[in-house]
Amino acid sequence: MSFNPQVCDFIRRHVLRAISSNRAPGMHFAGYFLGFTPRRYQTGGVEFTVEAAPHCTAANGVVNRAALLFAADMTLAAANRVFLDPNVRTATLMIRVEFTGEPARGTLEASGRGNGFSPHTALPESVCAGRIVCGGREVMRMSGTWVSPPAPKGVITRGLPWEGGEDGAQLPLLKKRDLDAAEKEVIRRVEKAMRVAKNGDLLASLWNPVVKRTAQGASGRLPVGMHVGNRVGHVQGGLLLNAALATAEAAVPEHPVLTGASAWYISPGQGKVINAKSTILQSGRNIAVVRTELFNAGRKLVLEVVSNHAVGVRDAS
C-alpha cells in the first residue's frame, strides 16, 4: 500500500462522508468525494473549486486528470444550467479540452460561462467555455455544447446544492452497518484502489479503466457503479472522457504528452461495464492522433473521442 495509516484514515472518512451525502438527491458520490465546491453561480459565470488533497492527488501533489475532467464537465454544465429550472436534467452533447502542459499542482479552480439556450433547434442547445487553473497556473481550457433532455423514465431529478437543492453534506454520517449493497461496493473498490495505487494516485486506480495494448491501438474496461455514476445512474461525463483518454494514451506510449481531445456523447454510459477501443489514426515522429470509442455491454456506442498526443521536449532532444 502506497498510503500511510493517516492518509488511509483520511480517505476512508472522505468516502463514508461522500456515500452518506450521496443519499440526498441532486449531487452524486464523485462530486461529494472530490469536494466540488461552488464559489460563484450566476448567469454571468460560474466558479468551482476542488482542494488538492491525498484523495485526488498523486504523491507529487499533482491533481489526477480524472478530477480535472470531472470538474470541466461539471463546470461547463453549471454554466448552462444557470439558465434553467434547477430540477431539470441536462446532458453533454460534445466537449473539447486543451491541456497547456502546466502541472495541476495546487487548489483546482474551474470557471465557465454560457450564453443560454438557442431557440433555433427543436431540443435547445447551449454552448459554453471555461478554463481550469491550479496554483495560479492555467492547466486546461474547455468548451462544449449541452442540451436539456427529459429524465429517464421513472427518474426524478432534483437541483444541485448550489441551485437550492438539498445539500447532502448536511446529512448524518452513516455507519458501515447502514450501507446498502451499492454503497458497500464503493467501499470495496476504494479499499482495493488504496492497496494497488502507484505513486499515491488513488484516482488512477479507482477511476481509470484497465487497459492493454492491441494490434490496432489499445482496449480498456471500466466497471460501472456508484463510484463513477451521475445522479441518474449513468457514468458521469467527465469520467467517461477520462476512461477514453486513459485508453488512448496506452495506444501511443511513445507520445506521452496529451495535448487535447474532442468528444461526442452518443448515448448514456450504463450497464455493468464500459468497454473502450482506441485506434491509432496517425503516429509520426512528434505527433500522434488516436480515435477512441466507448461502448456499453450491449455494444451500443456511448462516446467517440479524437485525441492528440505529442512527444515531450526532452523526449525529442
6-35 tens-digit pLDDT: 999 999 999 999 999 999 988 999 999 999
**Ordered domains of the chain (ranges, CATH):** 1-207 (3.10.129.10), 209-317 (3.10.129.10)
CA distances from 167 to 158, 164, 176, 199 (A): 11, 8, 21, 33
pLDDT at 317: 41
User: Comparing 149 with 96, which gets the higher pLDDT?
Assistant: 96
The whole-chain average pLDDT of the chain stands at 94
63-80 tens-digit pLDDT: 999 999 999 999 999 999
- The pTM of the full predicted model, rounded to 2 decimals, is 0.95
pLDDT at 236: 96
> Residue 275 and residue 108: Cα distance in Å, rounded?
29
37-72 tens-digit pLDDT: 999 999 999 999 999 999 999 999 999 999 999 999
> Residue 173 and residue 162: Cα distance in Å, rounded?
21
Q: What is the mean pLDDT of residues 183-202?
A: 96
* 231 pLDDT tier (thresholds 50, 70, 90): confident
* 152 pLDDT tier (thresholds 50, 70, 90): confident
* 1 pLDDT tier (thresholds 50, 70, 90): low
H-helix or E-strand spanning residue 184:
helix 181-196
CA distances from 194 to 4, 21, 91, 260, 287 (A): 10, 22, 32, 29, 34
pLDDT at 114: 95
257-306 tens-digit pLDDT: 999 999 999 999 999 999 999 999 999 999 999 999 999 988 999 999 99
Handedness of CA 242, 70, 196, 135 (dihedral sign): positive
pLDDT at 82: 95
C-alpha cell at 259: 495535448
* 235 pLDDT tier (thresholds 50, 70, 90): very high
